[in-house]
Amino acid sequence: MLASGHLANYLLLLLKGLTITLELSLGSLVLGSLGGMVLGAMRSSGWRALRAIALVYIEAVRSIPFVILLFFVFFAVPLALDIDIPPYPAAIAALSVHCSAYMGEVVRSGIESIPKGQWEAAASLGLPYYRIMRHIVLPQALRVMIPPTIGVYVSTIKESSLASVIGFVELLGQGMAIREANSLRNTADVLVAVAFGYFVICFSLSQLGRYLEHRTTHDLQPAVEPSRGAIVRPLVAGRPETQAAAMRWGQTDVMRRASETRSCCTSQHALVCLRTAHNRLGRS
Amino acid sequence: MGALYDFNLRVLLPYLPTLGWGAVKTLEISALAILISFPLGLIGALMRLSESRIARAIGAGYVEAVRNVPLLVVLYVLFYALPASGVRLDAFTAGVLGLAINSTAFTIEIIRAGFAAIPPGQYEAARSLGLHRLQMLRLVIVPQVFRIVLPTLGNQIVSVVLGSAVASIIGVSELTYQTQSIGSSTFRYFELFTITALFYIACVQAISLLWRLLTGRAAHAPLGT
């Protein structure tokens, strides 16, 4: 019973809310990512018109608060089109639009991170656009795209909490309903439990992202001259390649390069390098 | 209702001043939140980089906790859960505080990344000149970090302005709140949300442009004189 006011009693309700949040997020992340792929391809296409359309869409959506987007879909669109949009489709639609705009930017920067020479080489081999994309550009771009993608996913999941405001009962909605049902009690613990639920989802997602990023970058074996990303990563992991690279270039040079590679190396890794440098200073 | 929606802006004319004051309020809470969170972000970043294990743990714990929880939940905790433990905040204070708490976590990460981008040679040089820790930070490191993080801080300002719309839900009478309350009495949601969305777009683009103009010179100036 709810009335007993113990967290254990409404834990089941909160868990149900958690699964609904996951479902809502998953749906919008899939739709948003597909939309983002299309937008990213449009943004980096050769046609000026396509680029302009994608640019306007991305800039507009990214300049509007998500609340406004959500209210627009839920309150304004039904009035204008004379149709009825229940909270669930409204939330999914708004979240997908939001996610697709941010993903569009991520995909664009991923595609642009691939040197032009690769496009030219592939085109001169006679590959059509979609095959260049599928076999050459995207596999490499995906690697660069992992960290920002995880960032967009986490923020979309967090924005999904706003669906509770239009009456969709997901994790936060469930928490507020429990609060209302126990209005005479101190229900701070419910809100803390809700916060913890979001924390678990988002934190594990970002850890997963970190793991994926780490793995995919380790696949890059240093060839003749190791690429910058490949140096930074083994340096952190302390693998044999590190010592090899360190010896070849001299320790300080590796450090310097490590801290220069802001684009391929997350601040976390650069920080580790920095701290190593500090310790080294302390010893000498 | 007919097939075509009757787009009518004239109905809203008497409400424009209210919307305008809402917009002012939006900018006000955003500005306050930024003024609180940027200095705290610098302190937090220094904590995350400090030699004390405890300070590092507090910094990391704060950042991870706040970054992985929705802003709305933070606001609800401040507005609904705190009064239960005796601290009563009005909507405006709770809104500014929630935005500041949220923005501080992101600012810490931005500034920390800036510190990480400083070549270790700078630290080595500062130390070999005999500067002690505080001097090194104040004279050598922080000025450079500042230049590196300026563009990203501009994005952070934008995201605070966008986030301030969430404060409408706990009843801060900013733009989104006014839009909704006018909407519920006139039922001209479509026109209202269009106007509000356009305002946010204009505001965000103006902030980005202004920030680039203001910081462009600082960001591109050669280091050292």
Out of 1.10.3720.10, 3.40.50.970, 3.40.50.300, 3.40.367.20, the CATH code matching A2-218 is 1.10.3720.10
C-alpha span between A227 and A247 (Å, rounded): 16
Residue A241 pLDDT > 60: no
Residue B2 maps to a domain: no
pLDDT digits (tens, 9 = 90+) for B30-87: 999 999 999 999 999 999 988 899 999 999 999 999 999 999 999 999 998 888 777 8
Give domain status of residue B173, yes or no.
Answer: yes
A184, closest residue in chain B (CA to CA) = B84
Show the DSSP H helices in chain B as ranges: 16-48, 53-67, 71-76, 91-116, 120-128, 133-135, 142-163, 175-186, 189-220
The percent of residues in chain A predicted with pLDDT above 70, rounded, is 73
- B4 pLDDT band, cuts 50/70/90, is low
Of B73, B193, B201, the CB nearest to A194: B73
Average pLDDT over residues A237-254: 45
Query: Cβ contact (<8 Å) for A158 and B69?
Result: yes
Contact check, Cβ <8 Å, B67/A162: no
A187/B118 CB distance under 8 A: no
Give the integer Cα–Cα distance in Å for B202 and A67. Answer: 17
Q: What is the mean pLDDT of residues A106-115?
A: 92
Residue A198 to residue B200, Cβ atoms within 8 A? no
Segments forming the whole domain that contains residue B170: 16-220
On the question of pLDDT at A193 being above 80, the answer is yes
The tokens for A3 are 């009335």
Which of B71, B131, B189, B195 to substitute to test the interface with A, most A CBs within 10 Å?
B189
User: Residue A73 carries which DSSP code?
Assistant: I
Residue at B203 is within a domain? yes
Question: In this structure, what are the phi and psi dihedrals at residue B4, rounded to the nearest 5 degrees?
Answer: -105, 135
pLDDT at position A37 is: 93
Chain B neighbors of A179, CB-CB under 8 A: 80
Residue of chain A whose Cα is closest to the Cα of B207:
A63
pLDDT of residue A165: 92
As for how many domains chain B has, the answer is 1
Is it the case that residue A243 has pLDDT exceeding 80? no
A281 → closest Cβ in B112, B124, B165: B124
ipTM of the complex as predicted: 0.88
**pLDDT interval class at B12 (50, 70, 90):** confident
* A242 vs B64, higher pLDDT: B64
Q: Note the pLDDT tens digit of each residue in A213-226.
A: 888 776 554 444 44
Q: Give the chain A residue whose CA is nearest to the CA of B162.
A: A65
Residue B96 domain flag:
yes
Residues of A in contact with B117 (CB under 8 A): 259-260, 262, 267, 270
Query: Can you give the pLDDT at residue B84?
Result: 76
Helix extents (H) in chain A: 7-43, 48-63, 66-71, 77-81, 87-112, 116-124, 129-131, 138-159, 171-181, 188-218, 228-237, 240-249, 251-260, 267-283
B12 close contact with A: CB closer than 8 A: no
Q: How far is CA B178 from CA A280, B25, B94, B174, in A?
A: 58, 10, 18, 6
pLDDT value at residue A134? 87
- Determine the Cα–Cα distance for residues A53 and A45; give it in Å rounded to an integer: 11
CATH label of the domain that carries residue B139: 1.10.3720.10
Domain boundaries, chain A: 2-218, 228-283
Give the per-residue pLDDT at A234: 38
Question: What pLDDT, on a 0 to 100 scale, did the predictor assign at position A155?
Answer: 94
The answer to whether B180 contacts A71, with C-beta atoms less than 8 Å apart, is: yes
B114 assigned to some structural domain = yes
Rounded Cα distance between A208 and A213, Å, is 9
B5–A80 CB contact, under 8 Å: yes
Share the mean pLDDT of chain A.
79
Q: Indicate yes or no: CB of A188 within 8 angstroms of CB of B115.
A: no
CA B64 to chain CA centroid, nearest Å: 17
Distance CA B74, CA A162 (A): 12
Nearest alpha carbon to residue A112 among A104, A123, A102? A104
Interchain contact B194–A (C-beta under 8 A): yes
In angstroms, what separates the C-alpha of A135 from chain B's closest C-alpha?
33
Per-residue model confidence as pLDDT tens digits over B50-66: 889 999 999 999 999 99
Q: Which of A69, A186, A277 sits opposite B84 (nearest CB)?
A: A186
| Global confidence as pTM | 0.80
Q: Is residue B215 predicted with pLDDT exceeding 90?
A: no
Q: Under an 8 A CB cutoff, do A259 and B204 touch?
A: no
DSSP string of A164-182, one letter each residue: GGGT--SHHHHHHHHHHHT
The DSSP-derived string for A132-171 is IIIIIIHHHHHHHHHHHHHHHHHHHHHHGGGGGGGT--SH
Q: Is B131 in the A-facing interface, judged by CB distances under 8 Å? A: no
- Residue A219 pLDDT: 58
Q: Which residue of A has its CA nearest to B115?
A: A271
A280, closest residue in chain B (CA to CA): B124
**Does B3 reside within a domain?**
no
- Closest approach of chain B CAs to the CA of A61, in angstroms? 8
Chain A residues inside the 8 Å CB shell of B174: none
pLDDT tens-place string over residues B113-164: 999 889 989 988 998 999 988 889 889 898 889 888 998 999 999 999 999 9
- Distance from the Cα of B225 to chain A's closest Cα (Å) equals 22
CA distance A223 to A231: 11
